[in-house]
Amino acid sequence: MSKYRLEFSLSARRQLKKLDTETRKRVVAKAEALADDPRPRGFKKLEAAYDLYRVRERNYRIIYQIVHDMLLITVLEIGDRK
């Protein structure tokens, strides 16, 4: 299987900056793992949107989009589960 390219949207980058260092490292590692397996164990497809998925890293959600024909994963949002 080919490895996907990973991009962070501007809003996702802003949300990452607000996280503490340890949490940021965990969230980025989880997002980078999506490049190898875009549908890891525990992922959910969002019903309201086309090709949007979410995966959790402890108390945070990572919302991302998969573009299969371009082998691209775009992280759109990162947020607390509250």
pLDDT tens-digit series, residues 19-77:
999 999 999 999 999 999 999 999 999 987 778 999 999 999 999 999 989 999 999 99
Bridge partners for 42 per DSSP: none
For domain 5-80, give its CATH number from 1.20.120.160, 3.30.2310.20, 3.20.20.370, 3.30.1490.20.
3.30.2310.20
User: How many CB atoms are closer than 10 A to CB 76?
Assistant: 19
C-alpha span between 24 and 16 (Å, rounded): 6
In contact, 8 and 75? CB cutoff 8 Å: yes
pTM: predicted TM-score of the whole model, two decimal places: 0.90
Per-residue model confidence as pLDDT tens digits over 61-81: 999 999 989 999 999 999 998
> The sheet that has 52-57: what strands, in order across it?
5-8, 72-80, 60-67, 52-57, 44-45
The ranges assigned to domains in the chain are: 5-80
3-class SS at 80?
A: strand
